[in-house]
Every structure is written in structure tokens, then in C-alpha cells.
Structure 1
Amino acid sequence: MTDRTKRVVLVMDYGDVRGGLEKVCIESALALKAQGKDVVFFCGVPPLDPRLEAAGIETHCLGVSDIASNASRLAAIRTGLWNRTAGQKLDQVIRDTDDLSATVVHVHCWTKSLSSAIGPVVTAPDVRHVFTMHEYFFACPNGGFFDYPRNGICGKRAMSLSCMVTNCDVRNPAHKAFRVVRQGMQKTFGRLPRGVRNIIYISELQHEVMRSYFPAATRFFNVSNPVIDEKPEQVDVAANEAFVFVGRLAAAKGGVEFAHAAKAAGVRAVFIGDGPQKDEIRAACPEAEILGWIESSQVAGLLREARALVFPSLWYECQPLVPLEALAAGIPVISGDWTAGRESVVNGRNGIIIKDLDPQGSFGAALAALKDPEAARRYGNAAYQMFWADPLTKGRHLDRLNTVYEAI
């Protein structure tokens, strides 16, 4: 394969790591630079990760606030709908080269500070581009196809009349109205998704949900996020008792449902995380251990004390990494069949896929099955062997990125 991609412009809202999305973007920037690419990093919100400058990566930061923290609500609304400066500056950065055909522009996110004003710039006919879908904002106004007041997946066609008049927002109807207007701007003036020619998706469920919202000519590429590079020692899950939940203690994550199921099944429940449902979880299962937020480096150590990882999220998700990290250590996973977490689980082998969150239904049955130490050991052995037969490493991620870059 010829290497016609000499320069990569990476685009996202934030300049540092705030979550998995930013981690993937920044680490891919560092890896591409180490490989010899001319890497340019463009963002809206400071600070910049110091590793970027140390690696010699060209950086451009607008120095703005995201729309949630902007002190002026009017300014937040204005730039949230259309940040003209972001579009103009990005256009200058993209075209600051003697050979635009050797440049690929790779966008990771834009809704928090950059806005869809970058859309016409990135999708211009002479710009080689690709967007990674880390969520569902190309179609859904709230980015998740989730009805927060109803606490369930939304089956409405995004931006249909039924969608626009439904209060599905996590905050209030006024915020939903803002999101609908923003989505309208994105679809029309922003040319997103109608101008997008290349998309990276990170789970088959995401592709299934989103495909119909893009033009027929859009090309889709599957590039999983990197999970782990060093192979850990396998966990002896049969010697452990804790059924572990990792994540925010909020309604969409299913923590309360797990607490009820753990109480009914008589298993030890451990929650790593915090959030508004902490007291409700404690009331549902007084014996549960709620550890709060801990350093990411410590999560792996606590997972090594798990019998299983429980992933009861109520929404689609995209490519949840915690289940994959658990499987990499030989820890079986319980996941709902409505979430992308199911894609890392082969039911009955490395974990259990459940059909409901009923303590007396398949959720309760899954907890009961893994309560048996020997059964847990069988599942754990399969989890470890299956993950490391085809591991999601940074090297594999970089190889797939370069393949996509050359194809566009």
C-alpha cells in the first residue's frame, strides 16, 4: 500500500483528556507522530495535554469555554449553534500546506465548543476527511437516542416531528429546544451528515443505528478503540466474590437495577463510581460497597478482585471499554443485549447476555450462574483466551487508522 498520507489534522473539542474519546484522539496523535507523520492538533477548549508539545506536534487551541461552562449564556447559545471563528481558523490550519492532497482531516468531536461550523470546512470537495462516531450526534439531538425522563432507549426517528416535540432531554424542555435548533443548523448549514464521505464507527450496533442517516455514498470503516497493550496475569475469578459495576451512578447506567438484582441473588455488589443515584442504590442494597471515583490506574487493581463485571447500562452505548478491560484480565461480563457491550460477549462462553434487568428474570439468573465458582472459572478462562487471541491494542488501532487514511 502506498503511503500518500503525510499529514494528519486531528480535531476535537478539548485539548486534554476528559474521557475515553479524548484519550483515543490524543494517544493516536502521539502514535502517528512517532510513526513519522506530520501531525496537527486542533481544539477549542484548553488546556492542551503537555505530551503533544513535548512530542513536537503542531497545536492550535481557540482558548474558548465549552458551552456548558461559558459564563455568558447568550454567548454559549450563539457559539453552540455556530462558532464561526472555529470554522475559519480550522480552514486556515487545514490549508496551511503545500500539498493538501497529502493531508487527512480526522474529526473526533465538535458539539461542545467547535460547533457544526467546521462541517463545510471539513467536507469541502478537496479535503480528505473522516469522522469517528464516538456518540450519536450526527442524528440524535441529545446524542444518545435515549429518553431521559422515561429512562429508556428512544425508538423515534431522529428529528422527526415526533422527536422534536418530545421532551427527552436530561435537563429540561428548553434545553431540548436548543438541541433541536442546533441539530437543524448542523443538518443544513453544517452539512452534517449530508456532506460526510467517510465515517469510522466503533461498534456494529452503532453502525446499525446510524447507517440510514447518512448519504448512500458514505463509506463506513470499522476501527475499534484501543483497549490495552500489556497482557496482564489472568485473574482467578473463582477465588473472588465481588460483582463489580464501574461507571456513573446515574439512571441511564442501570446501577439501581443492579443493586436490586444483587440483593435478590445474595451476591456481593461493589460500585466504582459516584452520581445522583448513590442513595437510591444504597437503599436498594444496603450491603453494597460504593467506592466513589478512583484513579483510573486503580480501577484495574480493583477489577482483579471481581468475580464478574456487571454492565447493565440502559442505553445503546458506543464501544464501552470497561467490559473489554475486564475480559482482557479474564473476568466474565454480564451485559444487556440492547447495548454495544454485547459485542464483546459470547453468551455462555466469556460472559452472559441478558434480555432484561429483572431480579427474577434473566438478570437474576446470570448473577446466580456466576455465583458458582467453577462456572465462573470456566467463563473467566474463556474470556482471557478469547480476548488475547485477537487483542485490541494501540498498534492494531494505528494500523487500521492508516489503512482508512490511505483508502480515502
Structure 2
Amino acid sequence: MTADLPGTADLSRTRRGGLWHHLDFRRLWIGETVSQFGSNISQLALPLIAILILRASTFEVGLLVTCQLAAFLVVGLPAGAWVDRMRFRSVLIVNDLLRAAALASIPVAHWLGVLSIGQLYAVALLTGICTVFFDVAYQSYLPQLVQRQELVEANAKLQASESVAQIGGPSLGGALIQVLTAPYAILLDGLSFLWSAAWVHAIRARPPRPERAPDRNLRREIGEGLRFVLGNRLLRAIAMCTGLSNLFAAMASAVFYVLLARELRLSAGWIGLIESTSAIGGLVGSLLARRVADWLGQGPAIWVAALAMGPGGFVAPFVQRDWTLGLLALAQAVMWVAVVVYNITQVSFRQGLCPPALLGRMNATMRFLVWGAMPVGGVLGGLLGSAIGVRQTLFVVAVGSALTFLPVFLSPLRDLKELPSAAATV
């Protein structure tokens, strides 16, 4: 018989051996890990298709980044209200299948000789919309699979897998792109989403469908999510810090691959190797996150990690086709340590703070605020790259990124060793 929530057997195993013995969490973990490998292939392949095959301009590459992220602005807020009305597990499966189909259209179009930049924009937009729904449901589903005190461990394990995928994915992607060409390598990402859907389907814990309120109203429900986030000083500070960081990260993404592929003329294999080497920092961060939070306290861990993200950005504007490529990978690795410690700490706090009925809307509101800055950053990065140059744009990004820690540093988070666990406005 299917249980509504993790059963006592699962919980007793969890107490004895941690989440390694939590069957449903393990299924979610396995599916997401392989999907992350595929996504890292696409993250490299999509801009390289635009740059190397379709000969896209710097602005067009920036617009491609914008299309990938525009969904967070377009459907970010209503997605949370819709997801709160559905079974999270079903949302995950449907959006995995839709992303697989969208990505599969790219090699088909290339084989037929009709691949265009317009299709890349459409695929990026559709997969972005699916990612919005998937991510909101994903972060909302996790607290239903594990207990509150296990959230940091669960997020750390999931982040560790993402980091391993970021280490191996770009190198694997670069090699596959050279062997298969980018349009066909991206098909593997589509297959990885099918894999993820199969494992999510196998999860036994199936909480009941949320009750349908007779007077439910989409606008009111969106407003409840906004008021919960914006009415809490800690969440406001986290949203400002993360949103600014993402704005500058998207600006960098719009020109970074142009620098490596066009100006430095690096092969896909070398670009993938640089990305993989730098991503080692993400794995280290996932292993250190809990210790850093215990050592510094949860609040200080958030702002110290945010502060540590900035300095590494000053290497990219000056990198050349020489030993400085190694320095670039090292700087990005250090940056990724900080990024992952920050993300694990603040996401776990958000999940523990929020009432279950508001999880989808809280996550969607945060995604709207912090990821909604990214399409804006993609456009700004493309425009600046065309107007003042790629390296100059990366220097502007480095200066801005070094200041993004200020919202959390100037908030009550600076001194809070233990963050509140009650869903209350601070």
C-alpha cells in the first residue's frame, strides 16, 4: 500500500544511516544526478550551436541566455500558485517529459537542414518554462520526503551531485560535441530528462492532492506568497543578495563563451575542461556547507559566503590563451565553493521557515525575484558586450559582483547564529 508520507520504516532507517538509506530520497537523488549531467551538456552545447554553427552575434548569444531565463519573469509568480494546487511529483514528471521532447527537436531540425536561431530561442524559452515549474515543485517536494532536521543534509547531497555533474558534465559535453557535433550531443540531455522522469515515477511517498478551496483565487494566492517573502526581513535580504548575484552572473554568461570560443579560439573540449575544473569548487562547497554553518552560525555563514563569491570575478577580464586559463579555473573553483555554501544554507533555511501550504508560492516568489533578474542580465550583458567589448563587460560584472553581499551583511542575518524556524514575519 502506498503511504501518504515517509513511513516509520523509512524514518528509522534515516535515523540510523542518514539519507543514504531513505529509499524515496535516493530515487529522487539518482534521477536528478543523471539529469544534471545532461543539463551541463546542453549548457555548453546551446551557445556553441549559436556561435559556431549559426554564427550568431554577441547580442544574439545574450538573447539566447535571456530566452533560457525569461520564464522566471513570465510565469514565475503564477507557477507557485498553480504548483501548490497540484501533486508535486506529477509536476516533476510532466516537465521532465516536455523538456526531453523540446531538446530532441534540435538534432532533428539540424538533420533536416532547417535549424535556426529562432528555434534555439523557442527551445530555450520552452525548457525554461518547464524548469520554472520543475524547480518550484522540486524544492517544495523535498520537505515532504524528508524531515525538517534532514533538509540541510538532503540539500547538501543534492548539491554534491550537481557539483559532480558540473565537474564531469562539461568535459564529457565538450568531448561529445567534438565527436558528435553540438546538435546531436544535446540529444543526451533529452534522454537524461527521461531518466529523471522514470526515477521520480518510482517514488512511493505520494502526499494527497491539496484540497481544492471553493473560493480559491489565483491573484490572491500569488499575493499571499509575495507578502510572506517581502514581509520577512531575512527573506528580503536573501532575495536582494541572490537577485543581484544572478543579475551579474547572467551578464557574464552572455559574453563568457564568446570570450573563450571566439576571442581565445578554444575548442569545445578545452572550454568543457575549464568548466569542469572550476566546478570542483562546487563539490567542495557541498561537503563543507554544514560544517561552515555549524562553525560560523547560519546567519554569518550566509553573508560570509556571499562576500567570498566576488573576488574571483576579476580574473576573467584579463585571461589570455596561456597559464592564466589555469588561474581562471582556480578562481572560479573558489567562487563555486562560496556559491554552494551560500545556496545550501539559505535554501534550507527557507524550506524550514515556510508553512507547508505556502511552499510552492514561497519558492516561486523567491525564484521570480532572484531568477527574474537573470534575463535582464542576459540582455544587459549582450548589449554591453556589443557596445564596450567582452572583456570590459566582464570587468563591470566583477565590480558589481563584489558588492552583492551587502544586503545580507546589513540585515539581522549578520549576527544570527540560529535562524528562526517558525513561519513568522521578522
Same fold (TM over 0.5): no
Structure richer in helix, relative to its length = 2
For normalisation by structure 1, the TM-score amounts to 0.30
TM-score normalised by length of structure 2: 0.29
Question: Which has more strand, going by share of residues?
Answer: 1
Determine which structure has greater relative contact order: mean sequence separation of CA pairs < 8 Å that are 6+ residues apart, divided by chain length: 2
Decide which structure has the larger Cα Rg and report it.
1
